[in-house]
Amino acid sequence: TPGDRIDIGPCSLFFSSETPGTGSSARVADTKTPGTVRVVPLSELVGGAPSAAGLREIAGAAASPQRIAYFLQSVDRVGQALLAHRPIADLFGFLVDLTSEVLRADRSVLLLRGKDGELIPKAVKQRGAGGEVVVSRSIVHRVIDERQAILTSDAQSDERFREQASVIRQRINSAMCVPLWHESEVLGVLYVDNVAAPLPFEETDLRILTLIGHLAAVKILETQTFEELQRQH
């Protein structure tokens, strides 16, 4: 059954009912912080109803009309997709699937904070062959502690990445990490990256992922509350 493990000598076989490409694992590890990053404080995205000028600011001050349209279509699509109720275990998988599809990411990871503050992988989406996704501990803590969304658009050529075996081995071209946030609470992070992608992520993509992080956190909290009420009944 799903979750079973068979140990044969030094090898461990895990059985999963997931479809190919979604059964990868993820972990947080100590790696050097990338040098080429863009950071968007969450405070820039929090406020009242946006005006036409405000939409341009949220999508990115330098965004073209096409990028603004892409931004609005993506956010509307995510909002519509999250209206339906799903069990919490199914919701985690749905969120990484949706994130990967909207942003055309090769790999997407959702990590939640545990009771002791440790980050626990809840869902991984990976296109193609599976493998472990390594997320920088320093980046994750910066995202959570400072409530910032972080983008690196060229990890392979970044000199601070050159000695990171995990980045070189996984051929990460562009990566983003944002908090799962609602008001003052940060539940965890959403991480996405592209492997040898011809077009790196842009700031508009980072802002889309940041808003996905907010909508996802609201949905997670709502689902957890609903399921707790169901258990009490």
pLDDT digits (tens, 9 = 90+) for 167-207: 444 456 788 999 999 888 899 999 998 876 657 888 888 88
Burial class (CB in 10 A: 0-12, 13-18, 19+), 230: exposed
Give the per-residue pLDDT at 41: 73
Average pLDDT, the chain: 77
pTM over cut 0.85: no
| Both tokens assigned to 113 | 């904070």
Rounded to an integer, what distance in angstroms lies between the CA atom of residue 76 and that of residue 227? 26
Rounded to an integer, what distance in angstroms lies between the CA atom of residue 22 and that of residue 16? 10
pLDDT digits (tens, 9 = 90+) for 30-69: 665 555 666 767 766 555 444 455 555 555 555 567 767 7
pLDDT digits (tens, 9 = 90+) for 93-111: 999 999 998 888 888 999 9
Closest CA to 175 of 76, 56, 33: 33
**Could you give phi then psi for residue 207, rounded to 5 degrees?**
-70, -35
Provide the residue type at 99 as one letter: T
Give the per-residue pLDDT at 54: 52
Give the per-residue pLDDT at 60: 56
| Both tokens assigned to 75 | 């956010």
Mean of pLDDT values over 214-228: 92
